[in-house]
Amino acid sequence: MKSSVMRNALGWVGLYGLWTTMIVVTIIPIYWMIVVSARSRVELFDAPTLLINSFYAPNYLKPLTDPIFQRYLVNSLVIATSNALLVTALALLATYALSRWRLPGADNIFFWTITQRMAPPAAFVLPIFLIYTRVFKIGDWTLFDTQLGLILLYCVFNLPFAVWLMKGIMDGIPVELDEAAFVDGAGRWTVLARVVIPLVAPGLAITFILSWIFAWNEYLFAANLTSVNARTITTGLAAFVSVTGTNWGEMAAVATLAILPALIFLVFVQRYIVTGLTFGAVKE
C-alpha cells in the first residue's frame, strides 16, 4: 500500500516537474526579450544580468510614434483578422459539405486538402512571387505588396488546418438533427444557420483564434511578397538590422509590442480554446 502511494506521489512530482520545466523554458526567452527592450545600448553591452534595473523609454517611444511602424501594425491587424474570418467561413462550409452531403470521394478530398500542409512553405515563395507579379496583373496593379494578396495567400496554408480541425467537430453533430429540421420544412442554409452553427460555435471560435495567430505571426511570405504598403509588424523587425549594426533595444521593444495584441486576444478568448479543442472528442 505504501509503495503504491509512493509511486503515485513520485509520478505526480515528475509530472509537475516536467510541466514546470516546459513553462520555464518557454518563458525565459520572452522575459529576456523584455529585459533587452528595457535597456539602452550602453547597458546592453555592460555586465549581463537577468534583472530589469531600469527602463529605457525611447526604445518603445520610437516604434509607437513612427508612422511607418503604426502602418505595419494596422496592416497586421487587418490581414490577420480578415484572413481568420475568411478561413473560418470557408472551413465551416467545406466541412459541412464533406460531413453531410455524402459527396463521392469525400475522404479523398479531405486527405488531399490536408496534404497542402505537408510541403515546406519556402518551396512556394518563388512560384507565388511570379504569380503575384506576372499572372495576376491588371495594368500597373498586381497582388504583390497588397493586403489582399497576403489575405488570400494565408488561406492556402491556414484553410487545410481549419478544415482538419472543423471536420472532427462537424462529425460530432448528429445527422438526425439536420434530418429533423428538413422534415419541418427547413432548407440547407436554414439548417446551417440555426442548427449547425450554434452547435459548432466553440469549434468556430478555436478555428478563428488559431488562424488569427498563424496569420499574425507569419514572416516568410510577408517579407518576400511585400515591399512598402502591406508590410506587417513581424517584417518590421528586419528594419533594425543594418550594415552599421543591430539596434537590439528597439528590435526587442517592437517584438514585445508585436506579441501584446495576440496575448490580449488570447486572454479574452482563452475559455473557448479548451472547449473548442475537446468539442466532439467524446461521443456516446
Burial of 53 (0-12, 13-18, 19+ CB in 10 A): exposed
Does some domain include residue 214? yes
| 23/79 same-domain check | no
Q: Whole-number mean pLDDT of the chain? A: 83
Q: What is the pLDDT of residue 284?
A: 43
2-32 confidence digits (pLDDT tens): 566 667 777 788 888 888 898 888 888 888 8
Asked if residue 60 has pLDDT above 80, the reply is yes
| 117/23 same-domain check | no
CA distances (Å), origin 274, targets 16, 91, 192, 205:
20, 19, 24, 11
| 166/231 same-domain check | yes
| 90/154 same-domain check | yes
Last residue within a domain, chosen from 19, 39, 56: 56
Q: From the CB of residue 1, how many other CB atoms can be counted at a distance below 10 Å?
A: 5
Q: Could you list the residue range(s) of the whole structural domain that residue 189 is in? A: 59-278
| 139/272 same-domain check | yes
Does some domain include residue 283? no
Averaged pLDDT, 73-83 = 94
Does some domain include residue 152? yes
Q: What is the pLDDT of residue 50?
A: 75
Last residue within a domain, chosen from 34, 56, 78: 56
What grid cell was written down for 265? 486576444
- The answer for residues whose C-beta is within 8 angstroms of residue 18's C-beta and 6 or more apart is none
| 149/263 same-domain check | yes
The neighbouring-strand residues paired with 241 are: 246
CB 266 within 8 A of CB 212: no
| 132/8 same-domain check | no
Annotate 121-153 with b (16+ C-beta within 10 A) or e (fewer). Answer: eeebeeebeebbeeeeeeeeebbbbbbebbbbb
Identify the band that residue 47 occupies on the pLDDT scale cut at 50, 70 and 90.
low
Q: What is the pLDDT of residue 274?
A: 59
Does some domain include residue 46? yes
Does some domain include residue 284? no
- Amino acid in position 90: L
Q: What CATH number does residue 94 fall under?
A: 1.10.3720.10
Element (H, E) at 71: helix 67-100
Using only the alpha carbons of the chain, give its radius of gyration.
24
| 120/219 same-domain check | yes
| 203/157 same-domain check | yes
Asked if residue 113 has pLDDT above 80, the reply is no
What grid cell was written down for 242? 543594418
Identify the band that residue 84 occupies on the pLDDT scale cut at 50, 70 and 90.
very high
Q: How far apart are CA 83 and CA 232, in angstroms?
A: 14
Task: Count structural domains, the chain.
Answer: 2
Q: What is the pLDDT of residue 2?
A: 58
169-223 confidence digits (pLDDT tens): 888 888 888 888 888 888 888 888 888 888 888 888 888 988 998 999 899 999 9
The helix-helix angle for 67-100 and 58-65 (nearest 10°) equals 70
| 47/66 same-domain check | no
The neighbouring-strand residues paired with 141 are: 138
| 45/67 same-domain check | no
Asked if residue 149 has pLDDT above 90, the reply is yes
Burial of 40 (0-12, 13-18, 19+ CB in 10 A): middle
| 47/105 same-domain check | no
Last residue within a domain, chosen from 33, 56, 79: 56
Q: How far apart are CA 137 and CA 142, in angstroms?
A: 5
Does some domain include residue 269? yes
48-59 confidence digits (pLDDT tens): 677 777 788 888
- Amino acid in position 11: G
